[in-house]
């Protein structure tokens, strides 16, 4: 029910995104035809030939309708620059970015949850202060700095992980994980700090609630109180932000994938923007927007699991 | 300018610069920039320490870190900059190639002869050469490639070949290139993508995906390509040059970031890396167990002025601006101090076309003289911009957004402001900036000047009517010398003509120069013969020029 009700606004969002990307890329200065030919070959005749071949001289609305019509059938066109089908390029690269992003979130949560809980449990103590200041410190370090440091330590000094490069999971799962680890860690560090801070705040509030005091009175162990009783109600902000932060991870992937020479969507987008590969930019932006919307939509649905009181379907029906 | 503080630059911005600046264009129009921290000490110029290669060893595999990915491997469709050239010379063989002495000689071709007036060039192929798919390399194959791919309206070499009217088959191994006009520089064209034969059968079968499935005659056979990740090539067992190639496998990996590419070489992820950045070259020199093959090309960073607009149509203004720039300071902000010598002309000191006389004629840093010229213009009642006497010049200087180029812009602004001019800086993204320069819709800005093409091609593009004449500067004297360059292959005559052009340019300064661009191939010591390639008749080639190698000749000892 809830899903159905949200569907129109979802579609409207995606439509708006597609129009905006289309407009922004089309209105950027810099002629794609010039980029395709290279300055040496940019005779007026050649430019005219390329522009007509790519239908760049049609009015914008016509071009947009053409593009969105094809896109709805899964045909995003062929890249101006590389001549490969845009959909194929995205399908090849999406798993790379998804794997690194997912791994980053898993690493960040795996560290942030216990650390954040510890920080809340020991609120005000020296442990809490150390954790807090460390989190702020990590938040302040940009991910490319982290990446360079990680490469220096793990690849150049210790020699245990590759500095750059990517191995497909299907070629070699172990090497695949090795090549994904440093990029994921670079993205995870800042996320980790955010998650720790959020969980700490919510957890402190939860730990002051009556049901926790009740559990304490009943003699429930601290570990059980923290993990079984307090974690779930304290993870709202964490979950919301984890959803929103998917955007940060995709943004970060543009930087991280370039540094680690990983063939992901971020790097694809960057290079497409620089050479005005319009169809590629539009395709990638649309796919990123869709994944962002879908993730946050999923987060919405997860709320009802975390707290049955706000189950979306029923609450509105009862009001 | 010693006191200038130079903020440190992030690797991310360098990545952007590398991806953006290098990927867009073949040298001439792209804007110049280097980065990193220059240190004094060593004399500027190329330093190579590869040493003796020893005896060839067969077998093994090496991985090469390139600075960017190439869009397509199909000549006519791909934009082959320094990274792409490396791959091209592994999969394809150039019909012609440049020798150590600068002369262009047959490589895959057996011979190239011209008629008396240099309008017809007869090329003879070697017998029994096959493409990797078994298709024979013959006259018909060359013709199909020429007609179907190279001369297509959207081909990236169409302009290069615009004066080649047709390619006619004479017999099975002989073709004639028929030119519209005399052109002594024609052989140079066949060193580039127009001269890399590929299998027309394979390209036709692959259709729009031909750029991802290259089939040439070269020492290595295409195996697989994951864009932006790795390209794997295997030894061509049936290669036409006996004894070559030495390696069993060759892997290319585009790693756009300078720091992480260097770190990959240090950690052993890659065996060879390429760089065009002065800061990286300095750091590579300090690595143990690494041999550096450096090369100083004729490409220089510099400024361009639009001479079709007042006040830049007046030579006094251009001279004043040139005299006001301290080249050493510009090189320092570009990170080339101690690495790159100042440039004074289109050709570097290593080029046969370099002229001492032209170097001496370059406007030296002289503020008093600059001021005098500047005042002379603004106090002239007939000044070309029509403004009242005494009004200071006010104009915009454009440059792409790159940290080292920002610094360059700022220092240029400081120099020109010292004259009394009001200089506004504007950052213009690379793609847009090139378009503005091509349509001459700008006042002043930064650019790259020079190049390693044949001087006729380079100078006629830059200073005759055409899209690449971004300064809009033309002169009958230059036209006259270009006619000589076009009509003769005699080196001494050509040098004389080029010198005359250089003198006209340094008198009129449509461009100013900063420093040249040093390039390096840095390789683990075990990788040998990076710069020792020879022609089939054993004539010495031009080494690891332009950060590219002839990979068929390279071997590895471990």
Per-residue confidence at A53, pLDDT binned at 50, 70, 90?
confident
CB of B468 closer than 8 Å to CB of B450: no
Chosen from B229, B258, B464 to mutate, greatest number of chain A CBs within 10 A: B229
Q: A66 and A103 share a domain?
A: no
Residues B200 and B207: their CA atoms lie apart, in Å, by 10
Which residue of chain B has the CA closest to A154?
B267
**Which residues of chain B have a CB within 8 Å of the CB of A49?**
153-154
pLDDT surpasses 50 at B24: no
Q: A37 and A141 share a domain?
A: no
In this prediction, residue B154 carries a pLDDT of: 78
Residues B428 and B447: their CA atoms lie apart, in Å, by 12
Mean pLDDT of B518-525: 93
Which comes out higher in pLDDT, residue A54 or B200?
A: B200
pLDDT exceeding 90 applies to what percent of chain B?
Answer: 68
With respect to residue A17, please indicate whether it lies within any of the assigned structural domains.
yes
pLDDT surpasses 70 at B2: no
In this prediction, residue B37 carries a pLDDT of: 35
Measured distance between the N- and C-terminal CA atoms of chain A, rounded to whole angstroms: 16
CB contact under 8 A, A82 and B211: yes
| Torsional sign, CA B191, B194, B199, B205 | positive
In this prediction, residue A31 carries a pLDDT of: 81
With respect to residue B26, please indicate whether it lies within any of the assigned structural domains.
no
Q: A125 and A9 share a domain?
A: no
Residue B266 at interface with chain A, using a CB cutoff of 8 Å: yes
Half-sphere exposure of B61 (CA within 13 A, CB side): 11
With respect to residue A13, please indicate whether it lies within any of the assigned structural domains.
yes
With respect to residue B191, please indicate whether it lies within any of the assigned structural domains.
no
pLDDT surpasses 90 at B504: yes
Complex ipTM: 0.87
With respect to residue A57, please indicate whether it lies within any of the assigned structural domains.
yes
Q: A98 and A183 share a domain?
A: yes
Per-residue confidence at B40, pLDDT binned at 50, 70, 90?
very low
Residue A280 at interface with chain B, using a CB cutoff of 8 Å: no
Mean pLDDT of B479-505: 93
- Chain A: closest CA distance from residue B360 (Å): 31
Per-residue confidence at A58, pLDDT binned at 50, 70, 90?
confident
- Which candidate from B72, B428, B438 shows the least CB-CB separation from A83? B72
In this prediction, residue B17 carries a pLDDT of: 37
pLDDT surpasses 80 at B212: yes
Which residue of chain A has the CA closest to B401?
A274
Rg (chain A; Cα; Å)? 24
β-bridge pairing B164-171 and B220-226: unpaired
- Which candidate from B16, B428, B468 shows the least CB-CB separation from A40? B468
What is the SS3 assignment for B108? coil
Residue B461 at interface with chain A, using a CB cutoff of 8 Å: yes
Q: A25 and A172 share a domain?
A: no
Per-residue confidence at B27, pLDDT binned at 50, 70, 90?
very low
Residues A135 and B463: their CA atoms lie apart, in Å, by 59
Q: A199 and A115 share a domain?
A: yes
pLDDT surpasses 60 at B35: no
CB of B295 closer than 8 Å to CB of B428: no
Residue A260 at interface with chain B, using a CB cutoff of 8 Å: yes
pLDDT tens digits for A192-205?
Answer: 999 999 999 999 99
With respect to residue A188, please indicate whether it lies within any of the assigned structural domains.
yes
- Which candidate from A35, A49, A261 shows the least CB-CB separation from B431? A35
With respect to residue B452, please indicate whether it lies within any of the assigned structural domains.
yes
Residues B517 and B297: their CA atoms lie apart, in Å, by 6
In this prediction, residue B220 carries a pLDDT of: 98
pLDDT surpasses 90 at A55: no
With respect to residue A78, please indicate whether it lies within any of the assigned structural domains.
no
- Which candidate from B158, B211, B228 shows the least CB-CB separation from A41? B158
Residue B230 at interface with chain A, using a CB cutoff of 8 Å: yes
Which residue of chain A has the CA closest to B153?
A46
In this prediction, residue A233 carries a pLDDT of: 83
With respect to residue A251, please indicate whether it lies within any of the assigned structural domains.
yes
Residue B139 at interface with chain A, using a CB cutoff of 8 Å: no
Query: Residue B472 belongs to a domain with what CATH number?
Result: 3.10.105.10
CB contact under 8 A, B429 and A30: yes
Could you give the angle at which helices A2-27 and A278-306 cross, rounded to 10 degrees?
A: 150
Q: In the predicted model, what is the mean pLDDT of chain A?
A: 86
Residue B161 at interface with chain A, using a CB cutoff of 8 Å: no
Question: What is the side-by-side strand order in the sheet with B272-275?
Answer: B220-226, B230-235, B249-254, B61-66, B272-275, B511-524, B290-305, B444-449, B394-399, B422-427
Residue A91 at interface with chain B, using a CB cutoff of 8 Å: no
CB of B138 closer than 8 Å to CB of B173: yes
With respect to residue B401, please indicate whether it lies within any of the assigned structural domains.
yes
pLDDT surpasses 50 at B408: yes
CB of B232 closer than 8 Å to CB of A121: no
With respect to residue B243, please indicate whether it lies within any of the assigned structural domains.
no
Mean pLDDT of B339-346: 88
**Which residues of chain B have a CB within 8 Å of the CB of A97?**
none
From chain B residues 8-37, the ones with a CB under 8 A of any chain A CB are 10-12, 15-16, 19-20, 23-26, 28-29
pLDDT surpasses 70 at B14: no
Q: In the predicted model, what is the mean pLDDT of chain B?
A: 88
Question: What is the side-by-side strand order in the sheet with B109-114?
Answer: B109-114, B120-125, B174-179, B164-171
Q: A301 and A171 share a domain?
A: yes
> How many domains does chain B fold into?
1
> How many domains does chain A fold into?
2
End position of a domain, from candidates A18, A42, A72: A72
Q: For residue B248, report the phi and psi dihedrals to the nearest 5 degrees.
A: -80, -35
Which residue of chain A has the CA closest to B258?
A259
Per-residue confidence at A229, pLDDT binned at 50, 70, 90?
confident
With a CB cutoff of 8 Å and minimum separation 6, the contacts of B486 are B181, B182, B183, B184, B185, B456, B460
> Which domain range does residue B314 map to?
299-517
CB of B321 closer than 8 Å to CB of B423: no
Mean pLDDT of A226-242: 84
With respect to residue B34, please indicate whether it lies within any of the assigned structural domains.
no
Which comes out higher in pLDDT, residue B314 or B295?
A: B314
**Which residues of chain A have a CB within 8 Å of the CB of B255?**
164-165, 261
**Which residues of chain B have a CB within 8 Å of the CB of A41?**
155-160
pLDDT surpasses 90 at B358: yes
For A115, left (φ over 0), alpha (ψ -120 to 50), or beta?
alpha
To the nearest 10°, report the CA torsion of A55, A58, A60, A62: -90
- Chain B: closest CA distance from residue A303 (Å): 37
β-bridge pairing B394-399 and B422-427: parallel
pLDDT exceeding 70 applies to what percent of chain A?
Answer: 96
Residue B398 at interface with chain A, using a CB cutoff of 8 Å: no
Q: A30 and A176 share a domain?
A: no
Whole-angstrom CA distances from B460 to B208, B397, B455, B471 are: 34, 25, 8, 13
pLDDT surpasses 60 at A319: no
pLDDT surpasses 70 at A252: yes
Residue B316 has which token pair?
Answer: 């006094």
Residues A294 and A289: their CA atoms lie apart, in Å, by 8
In this prediction, residue A311 carries a pLDDT of: 58
Residue whose tokens read 């990076």? B530
Which comes out higher in pLDDT, residue A24 or B29?
A: A24
Please count the residue pairs, one from chain A and one from chain B, whose beta carbons lie less than 8 angstroms apart: 190
Whole-angstrom CA distances from B370 to A220, B321, B323, B367, B409 are: 86, 7, 5, 5, 19
Mean pLDDT of B73-101: 93
What is the SS3 assignment for B244? coil
**Which residues of chain B have a CB within 8 Å of the CB of A151?**
260, 263, 267
pLDDT tens digits for A126-149?
Answer: 999 999 999 999 988 888 899 999
With respect to residue A302, please indicate whether it lies within any of the assigned structural domains.
yes
With respect to residue A260, please indicate whether it lies within any of the assigned structural domains.
yes
Mean pLDDT of B137-160: 91
Which comes out higher in pLDDT, residue B304 or B431?
A: B304
Angle at B23 between CA B20 and CA B25, to 5 degrees: 110
What is the SS3 assignment for B481? helix
Residues B416 and B419: their CA atoms lie apart, in Å, by 5
Per-residue confidence at B103, pLDDT binned at 50, 70, 90?
confident
In this prediction, residue A1 carries a pLDDT of: 62
Residue B226 at interface with chain A, using a CB cutoff of 8 Å: yes
In this prediction, residue B146 carries a pLDDT of: 96
Residue B159 at interface with chain A, using a CB cutoff of 8 Å: yes
Q: A45 and A121 share a domain?
A: no
Q: A200 and A131 share a domain?
A: yes
With respect to residue B472, please indicate whether it lies within any of the assigned structural domains.
yes
pLDDT tens digits for A254-275?
Answer: 899 999 999 999 999 998 888 8
End position of a domain, from candidates A26, A47, A72: A72
CB contact under 8 A, A43 and B162: yes
Which comes out higher in pLDDT, residue B315 or B453?
A: B315
> Which domain range does residue A6 map to?
2-72
pLDDT surpasses 60 at B374: yes
- Which candidate from B15, B157, B467 shows the least CB-CB separation from A258? B15
pLDDT surpasses 90 at B38: no
In this prediction, residue B236 carries a pLDDT of: 96
Range in A238-252, A301-315, B235-249, B393-407 the model is least confident about: A301-315
In this prediction, residue A33 carries a pLDDT of: 82
Per-residue confidence at B32, pLDDT binned at 50, 70, 90?
very low
Query: Residue A211 belongs to a domain with what CATH number?
Result: 1.10.3720.10
CB of B304 closer than 8 Å to CB of B446: yes
pLDDT surpasses 60 at B42: no
**Which residues of chain B have a CB within 8 Å of the CB of A175?**
none
- Which candidate from B15, B156, B435 shows the least CB-CB separation from A31? B435
Residue A47 at interface with chain B, using a CB cutoff of 8 Å: no
Mean pLDDT of B275-288: 88
Residue A261 at interface with chain B, using a CB cutoff of 8 Å: yes
**B359-364: long-range contacts (C-beta < 8 A, 24 or more apart)?**
B361/B502, B361/B503, B361/B506, B361/B507, B362/B506, B362/B513, B363/B319, B363/B322, B363/B323, B363/B506, B363/B509, B363/B512, B364/B323
CB contact under 8 A, B461 and A40: yes
Residue B435 at interface with chain A, using a CB cutoff of 8 Å: yes
- Chain B: closest CA distance from residue A177 (Å): 16
Residue A78 at interface with chain B, using a CB cutoff of 8 Å: yes
Residue A25 has which token pair?
Answer: 């890329």
Q: A45 and A134 share a domain?
A: no
With respect to residue B411, please indicate whether it lies within any of the assigned structural domains.
yes
Q: A68 and A180 share a domain?
A: no
pLDDT exceeding 70 applies to what percent of chain B?
Answer: 92
């Amino acid at each position: 029910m809830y899903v159905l009700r949200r569907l129109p606004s979802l579609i409207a969002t995606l439509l708006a995104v597609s129009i905006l990307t289309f407009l922004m890329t089309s209105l950027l200065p810099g002629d794609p035809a010039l980029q395709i030919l290279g300055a040496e070959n940019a005779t007026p005749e050649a430019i005219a030939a390329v522009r007509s071949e790519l239908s760049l001289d049609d009015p914008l609305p016509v071009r947009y309708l053409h593009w969105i019509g094809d896109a709805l059938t899964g045909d995003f066109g062929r890249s101006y620059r590389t001549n490969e089908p845009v959909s194929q390029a995205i399908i090849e690269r999406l798993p790379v970015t998804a794997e690194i992003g997912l791994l980053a979130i898993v690493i960040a949560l795996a560290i942030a949850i216990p650390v954040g809980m510890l920080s809340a449990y020991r609120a005000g103590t020296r442990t809490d202060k150390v954790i807090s200041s460390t989190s702020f410190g990590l938040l302040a370090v940009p991910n490319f700095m982290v990446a360079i440091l990680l490469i220096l330590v793990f690849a150049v000094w210790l020699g245990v992980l590759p500095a750059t490069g990517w191995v497909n999971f299907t070629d070699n799962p172990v090497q695949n994980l090795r090549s994904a680890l440093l990029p994921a860690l670079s993205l995870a560090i800042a996320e980790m700090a955010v998650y720790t801070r959020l969980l700490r705040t919510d957890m402190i509030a939860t730990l002051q609630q009556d049901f926790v005091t009740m559990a304490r009175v009943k003699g429930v162990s601290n570990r059980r109180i923290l993990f079984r009783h307090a974690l779930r109600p304290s993870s709202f902000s964490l979950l919301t932000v984890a959803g929103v932060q998917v955007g940060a991870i995709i943004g970060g992937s543009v930087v991280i994938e370039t540094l680690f020479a990983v063939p992901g969507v971020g790097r694809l987008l960057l290079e497409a923007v620089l050479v005005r590969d319009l169809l590629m930019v539009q395709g990638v932006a649309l796919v990123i927007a869709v994944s962002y919307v879908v993730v946050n939509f999923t987060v919405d649905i997860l709320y009802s699991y975390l707290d049955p009181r706000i189950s979306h379907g029923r609450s509105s029906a009862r009001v | 300018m010693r006191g200038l503080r130079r903020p440190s630059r992030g690797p991310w911005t360098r990545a952007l610069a590398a991806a953006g600046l290098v990927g867009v264009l073949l040298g001439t129009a792209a804007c110049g920039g280097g980065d990193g921290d220059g240190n004094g000490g060593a004399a500027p110029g190329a330093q190579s320490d590869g040493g003796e290669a020893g005896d060839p060893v067969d077998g093994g595999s090496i991985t090469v870190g390139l600075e960017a990915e190439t869009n397509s491997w199909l000549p006519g469709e791909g934009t082959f900059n320094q990274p792409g050239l490396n791959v091209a010379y592994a999969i394809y063989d150039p019909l012609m190639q440049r020798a150590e002495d600068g002369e262009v000689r047959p490589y895959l071709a057996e011979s190239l002869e011209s008629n008396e007036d240099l309008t017809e060039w007869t090329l003879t192929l070697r017998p029994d050469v096959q493409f990797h798919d078994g298709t024979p390399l013959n006259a018909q194959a060359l013709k199909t490639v020429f007609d179907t791919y190279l001369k297509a309206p959207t081909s990236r070499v169409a302009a290069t070949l615009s004066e080649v009217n047709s390619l006619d088959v004479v017999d099975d191994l002989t073709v004639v290139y028929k030119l519209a006009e005399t052109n002594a520089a024609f052989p140079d064209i066949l060193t580039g993508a127009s001269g890399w034969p590929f299998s027309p059968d394979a390209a036709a079968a692959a259709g729009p995906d031909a750029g991802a499935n290259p089939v040439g005659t070269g020492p290595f056979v295409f195996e697989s390509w994951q864009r932006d990740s790795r390209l794997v090539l295997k030894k061509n067992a049936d290669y036409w040059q006996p004894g070559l190639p030495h390696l069993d496998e060759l892997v290319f990996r585009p790693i756009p970031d300078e720091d992480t590419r260097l770190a990959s070489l240090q950690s052993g992820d890659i065996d060879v890396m390429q760089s065009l950045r002065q800061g990286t070259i300095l750091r590579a020199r300090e690595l143990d167990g690494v041999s550096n093959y450096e090369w100083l090309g004729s490409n220089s960073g510099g400024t361009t002025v639009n001479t079709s607009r007042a006040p830049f149509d007046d030579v006094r203004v251009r001279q004043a601006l040139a005299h006001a720039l301290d080249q050493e300071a510009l090189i320092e902000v570009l990170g080339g101090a101690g690495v790159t010598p100042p440039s004074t002309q289109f050709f570097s000191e290593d080029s046969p076309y370099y002229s001492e006389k032209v170097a001496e004629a370059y406007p030296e840093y002289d503020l008093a003289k600059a001021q005098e010229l500047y005042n002379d213009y603004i106090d002239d009642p007939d000044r070309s911009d029509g403004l009242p006497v005494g009004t200071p010049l006010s104009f915009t200087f454009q440059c792409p957004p790159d940290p080292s180029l920002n610094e360059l812009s700022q220092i240029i602004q400081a120099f020109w402001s010292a004259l009394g001019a009001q200089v506004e800086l504007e950052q213009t993204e690379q793609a847009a900036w090139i378009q503005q320069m091509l349509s001459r819709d700008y006042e002043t800005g930064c650019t790259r000047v020079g190049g390693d093409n044949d001087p006729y091609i380079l100078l006629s593009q830059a200073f005759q009517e055409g899209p690449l004449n971004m300064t809009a500067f033309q002169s009958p004297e230059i036209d006259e010398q270009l006619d000589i360059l076009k009509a003769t292959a005699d080196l001494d005559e050509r040098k004389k003509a080029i010198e005359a052009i250089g003198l006209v340019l340094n008198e009129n300064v449509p461009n100013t120069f900063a420093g040249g661009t040093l390039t390096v191939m840095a390789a683990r010591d075990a990788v040998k013969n990076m710069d020792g390639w020879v022609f089939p008749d054993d004539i010495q080639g031009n080494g690891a020029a332009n950060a590219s190698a002839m990979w068929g000749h390279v071997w590895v000892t471990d």
